[in-house]
Amino acid sequence: MPALPRSAVTVLSLSVSVAAALLAAGCGTDPAPGDRQPPLGAPGGVASTATPPGQADTSVPVALAGAPLFVDPTGAAADQVRLWQAAGQAEQADQLRRISEQPMAVWITSSTAQVAADVDAALTRAATSGGMPVLVAYHIPDRDCGSFSGGGAVDGGDYQAWIRQFAAGIAGRPVTVIVEPDAVAHSLDSCGAAGAGGARLELLAEAVAVLKQTGTAQVYLDAGHPRWISDLGRLADALRQAGIDQADGFALNVSNFIGTAENVEYGHRLSDALGGRTRFVIDTSRNGAGPADGASVAGGPAWCNPPGRRLGETPTTTPGLDRVDALLWIKRPGESDGDCRPGEPPAGQWWPEYALQLAAQAG
């Protein structure tokens, strides 16, 4: 993984040529005609999603910019604080509260059968505690190009079903969704060279359309980071193919360490390439010390669990920066980037020692 990393809704579907591209790239096949996903608004499509009995259907979009953010009382960091406090490790517990007491995104990576329930559970917690929840949709076929965070949907048809079930779990509640970290940028690098780049962009455009049709989702399409795709014209074109005109903006620096100022400057240039009005969000969860120098550090990739990093600016939806809707903690500090060195946990697994390092460095 190189780095973890407003307009009318257009109904999109995979064409036969797209299906062929997916097959050629090993990313799966289009479903058989009887298994195709229904168009938006058709029976079984997003528009048919019903609000669960006894649950209010707000159906009113709530903008991310200026909204209070949801602080999840559950999660590994909060559990670790309680564990250390009970064990008499008060100093470590206090340091880790710099993570556990901040709003962070919830990553949704579950199967098609489970995704609606997991989205519902996260939004139910947010409705109880208050604040805008931020979810990450992370299930694109050939996710992370088979690297440390590999996995995702088995094929394009599975992903179409998955994103509809994700949308069903929203059920008329406000939410911000970060769509598929790395996916657009990967379509432009060696991962997209096998011919699946265009098919992936169509899947992303459909995902944006499905999520926007819920009426309450704010959607930010991931655009990589400032040191990945340097040709902004090419990136802007890929983002257009991936539905940026229907989204609320793009996301930068997800799971990376690049400083905020560099992201703002890059974001402005990318926004200009898109017409000058596209807004964006920045992941500042671990960028307090900037990126590690060089391509590798301590025997592993510089983007993967580099030592000496620290927490970045605390999350805010009032950053006071031109075209920046929010500074967010999208990557959850303390969760591994991957088992890039001996003894490091797999991607996404809680790693208390690294979490404490990030928090202690911030002090």
Pick the CATH number of 61-362 from 3.30.930.10, 3.30.160.270, 3.40.50.12780, 3.20.20.40: 3.20.20.40
Q: Does 148 score more than 60 pLDDT?
A: yes
Task: Considering the candidates 142, 182, 222, 283, report the single residue annotated as catalytic.
Answer: 182
- How do strand 296-297 and strand 106-108 relate by DSSP bridges? unpaired
Q: Per residue in 262-309, pLDDT tens?
A: 999 999 999 999 999 999 999 999 999 999 998 999 999 999 999 999
pLDDT band at residue 363 using 50, 70 and 90 as cut-offs: low
Q: Are 132 and 81 in contact (CB under 8 A)?
A: no
Q: Per residue in 57-69, pLDDT tens?
A: 445 579 999 999 9
Return the exposure string of 277-301: e unless at least 16 CB atoms fall within 10 Å of the residue's CB, then b: ebbbbbbbbbbbbbbbeeeebeebb
Q: Per residue in 307-345, pLDDT tens?
A: 999 999 999 999 999 999 999 999 999 999 999 999 999
Cα separation, 184 vs 235, whole angstroms: 8
Task: Considering the candidates 118, 142, 144, 283, report the single residue annotated as catalytic.
Answer: 144
> Would residue 182 show up in a list of annotated catalytic residues for this protein?
yes
Quick one: pLDDT at residue 60? 59
> Would residue 248 show up in a list of annotated catalytic residues for this protein?
no
Q: Give CA separation, 217 vs 17, 23, 58, 171, 267, in Å.
A: 30, 31, 12, 10, 22
Global pTM? 0.84
Q: Are 254 and 331 in contact (CB under 8 A)?
A: yes
